[in-house]
Structure 1
Amino acid sequence: MNPSRPFIERPVATGLLMLAIVLAGLVGLRFLPLAALPQVDYPTIQVQTLYPGASPEVMSRTVSAPLERQFGQMAGLNRMSSTSAAGVSLVTLQFDLDQTLDVAEQQVQAAINAGGSFLPTDLPAPPVYAKVNPADAPIMTLAVTADTLPLTEVQNIVNTRLAQKISQVSGVGLVTLAGGQRPAVRIQANTQALASAGIGLDTLRNAIAAANANGAKGSFDGPQRAYTINANDALLTAADYKKLIVAWKNNAPVRLSDVARVVDGAENAQLGAWAGLKDDQPQANGAGDGSLRQSIIVNVQRQPGANVISTVDAIRARLPELQAAMPANVRVEVLSDRTSGIRASVEHVQMELVLAVVLVVLVIFLFLHSLRATIIASIAVPISLIGTAGVMYLLGYSLNNLSLMAMTIATGFVVDDAIVMIENIARKLEEGEPPFKAALDGASQIGFTIISLTVSLIAVLIP
């Protein structure tokens, strides 16, 4: 039995098959994602709960612990860890690799719903969860600064304009902000003024909470029309809070501005981010020496399977448009671009692959002294490599350092097989057989030997 016989007897069909493999490989090569390392999606979900004003001990006892008890009952949970800090709780859940993220997401949502009654009743918002991949680092980091605007206003602008526009770019999966400058109204109680007015901190807190509720207001019903009262009682600025009446003493109102200092500031004044930008000058909101400036950091992560290079190029193409849409004194700069290392490493491996093919062809010509044999081997190697790109696309692989290295090693397999086959056919020709019969006999003798040799090499490299 000769596995090569159908191809030797039908050279035209064989040529068309090779052409089809090349075309399919070129199409697959065009759509193959490019990355530094293979895509590994760990089924990981992170649950975040915000409770402003709570200490780490309170967050651990009242938020993290109840959630952990609920999450611990989920099937397929492989690992769970939690971090409790001032005002925030982060619970990271990693599931088994055979667990799908959609099923894990449903389990997490059910556990959050079941544990809602064990959480503090005055949480500003219920726990939120997001799918994360701990192995997927940001592909691009931007730094946004402003010379005159406060960073709280800069963060608001970045969150409503820049981040949303970047999220719409094809291939972008997640955009997160760092720097801790979310705008908020900060109320700093004056204990001496409260004591002189006979008002406790609980009274102050209850008055602020009661005046800042946003609930249902009711409706007006008439014979022909009905209206729902749509009014928002939430206070948004420091000026609104200053006018708030906390209590009545001696038939006179005690306003919040009388017993506390109310300012517009950051939600967490203990967090910040600094970036070293080009052509920096000392600024009022900088570090003082001009080398670092306090900034809002924008981290961009890609979607699973997206081409890193294409995604970053699309973001860079939109940056001038996004910069033009920002206020004149807001500056957007690229702080880090992960694709620079990816481009260099992948380009280097590609060059090594091409060099390996060229050297192989030269060695074949040097030892066989046959131009026809050299052409056969030099055609077999590129066809195999290009066809592999089409199979990689169908299997969901990517072009990365490991896959390119594997293709470089596999080039030696193809060349070894080609040389053994050509040498055996050449021996038959030297014995006086006609070319067609020499090709059939030579391929028949060595065909299954080559197959067994290739399979054994694959088995060696499986680990």
Structure 2
Amino acid sequence: MSIVLVIFGLVIFNKIAVRELPDIDPSIVTVRTLYKGASAEIVDSQITQKIEDIVGGTPGLATIDSKSEDGRSVVRMEFEPGVSVDEATNDIRDRVSRIIDFLPDNAGRPEIFKTSEGSTITIWLRLRSQNLSDLDLSDYASRYLKDYFASVDGVGQIILAGEKEISLRIWINPSALSARDLTVADIENALLKENVEFPSGRLESKRIDLTLKVDKSYKNVEDFRNLPLKKARDGSLVKLKDVAKVEFGPLNMRTMFKGNGYPVVGIGIYQQSNANTIAVADGVKKKLIEVKKNLPEGAQLDVAFDRSNYIRVAVNEVYVTLFISVALVVGVIYLFLGNFSSVIIPTLAIPVSLISTFLLIYAANFSLNLFTLMALVIAIGLVVDDAIVMLENIYRRVETGETPLVASYKGASQVSFAIIATTVVLIAVFVPLVFVKGIVG
């Protein structure tokens, strides 16, 4: 039986999630909505308050925090402990979908994210190049790298820091605009009306059918520069380049991400709430090796920060402490009994008990973290206590002249009830903690 427990315990050991601390964080759902060009007051009245009103009655909701900024609304909801983050996300998504038609027309669709209170980025990747511009690096990271690393098992959200999202920037000359009797609204309307595609029916024949469309979309900067705005009095066309400077540039010029003092694009990878931190980091690094083979010439991608390194060191230190504890216990037993054969039983009892515990840890959906490993270290004393009491009583009877078989039977009979009683007392002390609701400690 002991051999079976050890085998299954070792198999299950590799399937247990490894974390720094236990997963006791409450479920948190965040709703983010973009409304470009709107002030914080307008965002608050037309978006944030509407979202707060609709999600306020969600079952299990503990608190709501919101933040309205220029062009962005963020509503953060924390749920009671025990509420599934997946169920909470689905409930919030259903409620938010009811008010989408009541949001401003130019507002973006609300984005819903599920995160935990203590969620931090598991690993940061750094993309840099001496040949490519910031716009090219950001475009490559957004188009290819983001989706590529999202396929790693256990990866949740991926963010890009220092992203220079490519956009068309139009720098209007007020004097030139006024001289031609135009307004900013005229330019906006021209962009909306001209840069479009229209379906134009179908062309059918005996052999082939073709779908027709009128393509009025603009492909490059020069096309936008020649965008017609109006006809002048002399019959000439007033083009966009006559009243504005047109160029491609970053959508947001207020943020920058640097690595070792140089501008780079950071790729921040979050893990899922129930994922193994070390396994996620290893999976990302494995993908990184494949990605490096296909990077553009002159581009470099490496790891800037890996949170799993600290967890590896901390967990390994606890493992070392665990082995030292076992060695000290065995040494103390041998020191007092002075018989090597008597040390065999507690020496075997310790690993069998500890390895078998992995089955219960996995069944209870616990993780291997600093607390569970320290609990195993403390449990060594509890495991060995009973073995020493039993062994010492049997060894004492052997010294009085009884045969090992008789000494084992009589010695076990004498102390069995006492051992059971002490074990039950320990269980009675700790079991009530299991039924305490909320976060204990």
3-state DSSP of counterpart to 1:312: helix
Aligned mates of 2:66, 2:123 — CA distance in 1: 27
Is 1:80 aligned with 2:49? no
1:437 is displaced (CA, Å) by 4.3
AA at the equivalent of 2:385: D
Structure 1 runs of 4+ with >6 Å offset: 223-226
3-state DSSP of counterpart to 2:349: helix
Is 1:309 aligned with 2:278? yes
Give the structure 1 partner of residue 437 of structure 2. none
Is 1:104 aligned with 2:88? yes
Is 1:331 aligned with 2:300? yes
AA at the equivalent of 1:302: Q
Aligned mates of 2:120, 2:65 — CA distance in 1: 20
AA at the equivalent of 2:64: M
Give the structure 2 partner of residue 206 of structure 1. 189
1:191 is displaced (CA, Å) by 1.3
Runs of 5+ unmatched residues, structure 1: 1-16, 277-291
Is 1:30 aligned with 2:25? no
Q: 1:222 to 1:403 in 2, by over 3 A?
A: same
Give the structure 2 partner of residue 156 of structure 1. 139
Give the structure 1 partner of residue 202 of structure 2. 220
Give the structure 2 partner of residue 273 of structure 1. 257
Residue correspondence of structure 1 range 18-97 to structure 2 within 5 A = 18-40=2-24, 42-97=26-81
Cα contact 2:122–2:306 (8 A) shared by 1: yes
1:295 is displaced (CA, Å) by 1.2
Cα contact 1:421–1:443 (8 A) shared by 2: yes
Deviates more, 1:436-445 or 1:29-38: 436-445
3-state DSSP of counterpart to 1:99: coil
Paired residue total: 430
Deviates more, 1:222-231 or 1:349-358: 222-231
3-state DSSP of counterpart to 2:14: helix
Is 1:131 aligned with 2:100? no
AA at the equivalent of 1:35: R
Indicate the percent of aligned positions where both proteins have the same amino acid: 31
Aligned mates of 1:192, 1:316 — CA distance in 2: 55
**TM-score, length of structure 1 as denominator length:** 0.86
Q: 1:164 to 1:357 in 2, by over 3 A?
A: same
Q: 1:228 to 1:61 in 2, by over 3 A?
A: farther
Cα contact 1:25–1:390 (8 A) shared by 2: yes
Give the structure 1 partner of residue 265 of structure 2. 296
Aligned mates of 1:62, 1:242 — CA distance in 2: 35
Aligned mates of 1:183, 1:355 — CA distance in 2: 57
Deviations 1:224-281 (A, max 9, x none): 78655456655454333222222233133222221222211111111121111xxxxx
Deviates more, 1:415-424 or 1:17-26: 415-424
Cα contact 1:28–1:392 (8 A) shared by 2: no
Q: 1:134 to 1:210 in 2, by over 3 A?
A: farther
AA at the equivalent of 1:364: I
Deviates more, 1:230-239 or 1:400-409: 230-239
1:319 is displaced (CA, Å) by 2.1
Q: 1:246 to 1:443 in 2, by over 3 A?
A: farther
Give the structure 2 partner of residue 3 of structure 1. none
Give the structure 2 partner of residue 289 of structure 1. none
1:28 is displaced (CA, Å) by 1.2
1:189 to 172, 188, 211: 172
Aligned mates of 2:402, 2:73 — CA distance in 1: 80
Deviates more, 1:398-407 or 1:419-428: 419-428
Give the structure 2 partner of residue 385 of structure 1. 354
3-state DSSP of counterpart to 1:336: strand
Give the structure 2 partner of residue 165 of structure 1. 148
2:100 to 102, 108, 116: 116
Q: 1:190 to 1:330 in 2, by over 3 A?
A: same
Residue correspondence of structure 1 range 206-285 to structure 2 within 5 A = 206-213=189-196, 217=199, 219-220=201-202, 228-229=211-212, 235=218, 237-250=220-233, 251-276=235-260
Q: 1:68 to 1:361 in 2, by over 3 A?
A: same
Aligned mates of 1:358, 1:407 — CA distance in 2: 14
1:366 is displaced (CA, Å) by 0.9
Aligned mates of 2:421, 2:219 — CA distance in 1: 75
Deviations 1:349-372 (A, max 9, x none): 100100000000010111122323
Deviations 1:312-350 (A, max 9, x none): 223223323312211112121211111221111111110
Aligned mates of 1:459, 1:229 — CA distance in 2: 79
Cα contact 1:428–1:438 (8 A) shared by 2: yes
Q: 1:338 to 1:364 in 2, by over 3 A?
A: same
Aligned-CA RMSD value: 2.4
AA at the equivalent of 1:66: K
